[in-house]
């Protein structure tokens, strides 16, 4: 239900856009009145192509809705299959670095983002962190299953990994839709909400045929005004939680989302310490996980060139160093300072000497 709250900002943005277009149209009319230009009326042959493109975008929005449903259904399915098993994973588990790595991979293949040295470094860094934490998770899981046999089922990791895969594909496809420029994030969320609602109703009907008593708990939420207010509060909170990632994707790219994922992990950890302070235990692996998560955060900033390192010439292809090169070339072209000209001439001489040396070496070989 939270997705349909996007109708409010969608109508507001549409109204503001309409006013802006009317103002631009009136300005052009006034300009034409004061000028001698004659405007010709013509038919744009690209209108039919644009309509076909819009239909394709709507189809992509439906696909995004399907992945959004699968993302949630992957975790619900675990509860259906293993209703008596634990569901929440350990803090700072291997799922977050896996999702970070897979988000980078989806951006590479779906959005055709070009990776330079820093991006490959960040990708392999997070893959390495995923493998290390996965090994720790397996060790901790094997220890816990010996002491508490009925606590966890190892297949829970598979369902969480599926959830991360669907999540990453959904946002990469969503960014591809937004790049076309024919749709806003609010309309995308509304269409996605309709698709999820239809699939929910379909699977709920199938579940109802299997077990008619499974939905009896829904009536409990309408027995008290406080519970109704709680439901409304959750709808609004889910709306903002769902909207902010799409704003980040619209303004930047899906590769910035992993930072929000790490903030969520740290925030959830702090909340659990406050809520379960009497029962919370700090175990041997916790500090290792926190350290690796901090390294992963640095890797994400490196991937998005928020932080640039040039160890082993990793940052040579980044925007920062390319801008420095452009500024250096412009300075050489415009300057009359003999010292700066001499410095550039010496650099050219050094490079030419290197080229001559290499050619001589090749000739001698």
Asked if 84 and 190 sit in the same domain, the reply is yes
Which pLDDT belongs to residue 340? Answer: 58
Asked if 68 and 85 sit in the same domain, the reply is yes
Which pLDDT belongs to residue 363? Answer: 32
Which pLDDT belongs to residue 109? Answer: 93
Asked if 331 and 249 sit in the same domain, the reply is no
198-219 residue pLDDT tens: 999 998 888 777 776 666 677 7
> What is the total count of domains within the chain?
2
Q: Are 308 and 118 in contact (CB under 8 A)?
A: yes
Which pLDDT belongs to residue 42? Answer: 46
Which pLDDT belongs to residue 339? Answer: 62
Q: How far is CA 253 from the centre of its chain?
A: 7
96-109 residue pLDDT tens: 999 999 999 999 99
Q: Are 303 and 107 in contact (CB under 8 A)?
A: no
364 found inside a domain: no
Give the separation between CA 102 and CA 125, rounded to whole angstroms. Answer: 13
Give the separation between CA 243 and CA 103, rounded to whole angstroms. Answer: 18
Asked if 174 and 127 sit in the same domain, the reply is yes
**CB neighbours of 103 closer than 8 A, spacing ≥ 6?**
168, 171, 172, 254, 255, 257, 258
Which pLDDT belongs to residue 132? Answer: 96
C-alpha separations of 292 from 77, 295, 296, 334 in Å: 30, 5, 6, 48
Asked if 337 and 310 sit in the same domain, the reply is no
Give the separation between CA 309 and CA 302, rounded to whole angstroms. Answer: 8
Query: Euclidean distance between the first and final Cα of the chain, in Å?
Result: 74
Q: How far is CA 74 from the centre of its chain?
A: 19
Give the separation between CA 277 and CA 286, rounded to whole angstroms. Answer: 16
40 found inside a domain: no
Q: Are 100 and 167 in contact (CB under 8 A)?
A: no
Which pLDDT belongs to residue 348? Answer: 44
Asked if 220 and 345 sit in the same domain, the reply is no
236 found inside a domain: yes
Asked if 90 and 220 sit in the same domain, the reply is yes
Q: Which residues of 273-294 are buried (b: 16+ CB within 10 A; e: fewer)?
A: eeeeeeeeeeeebeeebeebbe
41 found inside a domain: no
- Token pair, residue 99, equals 């999702």
42 found inside a domain: no
Asked if 351 and 254 sit in the same domain, the reply is no
C-alpha separations of 171 from 104, 155, 189, 248 in Å: 11, 25, 11, 10
Q: How far is CA 6 from the centre of its chain?
A: 19
Structural domain range at position 126: 2-35+48-316
| DSSP assignment of 237-275 | HHHHHHHHHHHHHHHS-GGGHHHHHHHHHHHHHHHHHHH
Give the separation between CA 178 and CA 254, rounded to whole angstroms. Answer: 12
Residues of the chain with pLDDT under 50: 38, 40-43, 347-365
| DSSP assignment of 41-60 | P---TTHHHHHHHHHHHHHH
Q: Are 249 and 169 in contact (CB under 8 A)?
A: no
Asked if 198 and 333 sit in the same domain, the reply is no
- Token pair, residue 104, equals 């980078």
Asked if 221 and 255 sit in the same domain, the reply is yes
Asked if 6 and 66 sit in the same domain, the reply is yes
Radius of gyration of the chain (CA): 28
């Amino acid at each position: 239900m939270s997705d349909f709250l996007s109708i409010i900002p969608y109508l507001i943005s549409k109204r503001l856009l309409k006013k802006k277009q009317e103002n631009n149209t009136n300005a052009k009319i006034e300009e034409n009145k004061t000028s001698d230009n004659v405007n010709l009326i013509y038919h744009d042959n690209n209108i039919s192509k644009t309509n076909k493109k819009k239909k394709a975008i709507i189809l992509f929005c439906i696909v995004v809705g399907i992945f959004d449903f699968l993302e949630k259904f992957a975790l619900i399915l675990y509860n259906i299959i293993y209703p008596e098993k634990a569901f929440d994973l350990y803090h700072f588990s291997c799922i977050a670095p896996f999702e970070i790595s897979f988000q980078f991979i989806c951006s590479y293949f779906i959005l055709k983002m070009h990776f330079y040295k820093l991006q490959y470094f960040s990708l392999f860094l997070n893959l390495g962190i995923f493998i290390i934490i996965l090994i720790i998770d397996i060790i901790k899981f094997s220890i816990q299953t010996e002491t508490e046999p009925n606590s966890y089922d190892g297949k829970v990791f598979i369902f969480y990994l599926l959830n991360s895969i669907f999540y990453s594909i959904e946002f990469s496809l969503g960014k591809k839709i937004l790049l076309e420029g024919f749709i806003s994030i609010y309309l995308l969320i509304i269409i996605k909400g309709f698709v999820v609602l239809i699939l929910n109703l379909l699977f709920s009907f199938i579940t109802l045929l299997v077990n008619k008593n499974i939905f009896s708990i829904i009536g409990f939420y309408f027995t008290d005004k406080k519970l109704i207010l709680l439901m409304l509060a959750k709808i609004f909170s889910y709306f903002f939680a769902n909207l902010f990632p799409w704003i980040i994707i619209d303004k930047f790219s899906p590769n910035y989302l992993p930072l929000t994922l790490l903030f969520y992990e740290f925030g959830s950890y702090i909340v659990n310490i406050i809520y379960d302070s009497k029962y919370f235990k700090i175990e041997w692996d916790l500090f290792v996980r926190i350290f690796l998560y901090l390294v992963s955060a640095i890797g994400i900033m490196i991937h998005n060139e928020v932080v640039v390192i040039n160890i082993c010439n990793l940052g040579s292809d980044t925007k920062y160093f390319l801008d420095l090169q452009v500024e250096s070339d412009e300075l050489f072209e415009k300057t009359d300072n003999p010292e700066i000209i001499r410095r550039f001439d010496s650099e050219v001489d050094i490079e030419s000497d290197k080229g001559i040396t290499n050619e001589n070496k090749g000739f001698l070989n």
